[in-house]
Structure 1
Amino acid sequence: MNAMPLSANGKLDRRALPKPPARGAVQIDNNQPLSADEQRLADWWKELLSVEHVGRNDDFFTLGGHSIHAIQLMVRLRRKGIWVEINTLYAHSTLASQALAIRNYTEAQKHAPDEVVNPVQKLIAQLNHAPEAFRLLQPLNSSAAKERVWMVHPSVVGSDIYRDLAQALSDRLSVIGINNYNLYHQPQIASLEGLASHYLQEMMASGLTPDQPVRLLGWSLGGNIALEIASQLEGHGYRHIHVCLLDTVYQTEFQFSAQVGTLGSILQMIGIEEDAAQRALMAEQTDILLGQQPVSTPLQHTRITLFKAMQFATPGEYESEEGQKMLSMADNGLAALGIPLQLMPMEANHFSIIHCHHEIGAALLSTTHSSESADVPEVTRMKRRA
């Protein structure tokens, strides 16, 4: 009170005084974090946003948070084994609602069957453990099927990345992974032609012959390597070659503008750490060089299917000019190959596209070579004529 209340005659007006709190009562600030979860989250907000106070009703973005801060918060949660998606952090932006969403997610994961636990979480856990011994050609399922598909590793990781996809194909295709030589060997092979030749020698030594149809699959950089393998297969007389590309880009500004030093933050974001991260960082410059190289000989007899990601992986991609350009590329630059392309737009982002098992399996099992097959979606035919 700024002054004591007085009556008309100048005496203390006791009836105007505020009532004293009940004996033993404690006044509570309803905006203070109430639980240990809220307090831990508040401490992280303070560090990330450089603020001194965070209340349970405060908003992450009103306090100055943006997409990079949200990614950094997601990384901290993942280090604690909480694989909540970044979209959840965006949808629940007050401290109280965010803590509740994280708590609900954690409880749901405790009671979820193994098969519905985040597949990326399981995959990252596998990738963070080094294999007992490096195998260049690695069986990824135990299928007895006679038909085979060769899955070429992307950058950063080995062919284990395809294990869930391979299991989904077990009743129809035998899957052989082509493992990442440069992650485990020095000196590394920085020539696309040289790396593909090394892989192809091992493939042919395993019994691959020109009278067999050859199926190759590559995700991201793995697609560039698969295209060069196809080029060399044609040189050896192979004519029945089908390459499936999972959001691979070819000879675009994105490869030529790539710079060494950006991989570390990506590894941190997705949860690859320690030895696995160190191996990837040592191969970063080589992977950039590999992605910039064209196929050594023009393709003539190879059939190509591109699975094109049509969603942004993070809100930051949506906000960036580079992300907008990447998504707007109709064919990821593959028209430069000069051969027919079957385009499969997918409601997935660059990372989740590997989980489109049904669509990928259907493409791998397709045997038609007609550029105007009825199996090709109308959008694909329209884009070819454009």
Structure 2
Amino acid sequence: MRLLREPGAVLGLALVALVQLGPEAQAVEPISVGLALAGAAASALTGLISYPRLYCYFAECCLQRPGARAGAALEEHLDKKLFGQHLVKRVLVKAVTGFLNNANPKKPLTLSLHGWTGTGKNFVSKIVAESIYEGGLNSKYVHQFVSTLHFPHRQNITQYKDQLQSWIRGNVTACARSIFIFDEMDKMHAGLIDSIKPFLDYYEELDGVSYRKAIFIFLSNAGAEKITEVTLDFWRRGKRREDLELRDLEVALSVSVFNNKNSGFWHSSLIDRNLIDYFVPFLPLEYKHVKMCIRVELESRGYVVDEEIVARVADEMTYFPKVERIYSDKGCKTVYTKLDFYYDL
């Protein structure tokens, strides 16, 4: 886990600060920031930094890929690596591409991903990050928070609120296109996430900082029961899974999450004020989707796909409901460790 950066660390010292700022530093004279450089060295440094494209060959830049390229990369990776989630693909590609192509968005893009463990929420957030920044989750412009790690103690909630606001303010100041990922929202203390509500609202600036180009992604198991209920009802009525539309789930999902006392979104102003742009449902995975995950994992390890082993591993998974046994209760999460049993790695 990459350490969270305090806002003061964004600027650094002297030459380090100038290099970290990259293209944004082109208007800054080296002497004005206290760099005691010889005239020729200062001139060379200023010349290099004056060319953003050249600079970006040597260091990571804020918004490394333009919207169209990021959208194309996102769509390609989702098509190849994500199974059984037609709604996720449809919503995310349009939402992320459209947002990045908008030079003047009215508010940050805010996505809330919901579903059972193993259905792909963390995997998708990783793909979104990689489609925008080559470093993905390791990029200095992508910031990941895990509730049980970063906000473990309820009695410290006031301190967490201050820290969270400070972290977001500092990182957006450094890069307007920062990405913030909040994992385990179902384990976050109620009321904490409301501290970032001003950053998600329709403000042009707050204390001289605009948050409109940032992306916020929330991951949660909350609402998974409602998603399964709707999906199973669809199946029992003889309808195709792929015919499920976002409108069949989004309203019921948002209400379920808002009223869930075991969720960081319980009675949250983010939902009450309609600041979350999309509630994205991850459907429970069927037997055929588990087999797809197994095949892709085998290929990624360099093995020829053996359908007998694919079937064995898929059969070892447990499925629900008890009678129909349609959906994997762990999605694809344990596929990777189960494959270790069949191969010497």
Tell me the TM-score normalised to structure 2 length: 0.29
Q: Which has the larger radius of gyration?
A: 1
The structure with the largest helix share of the pair is 2
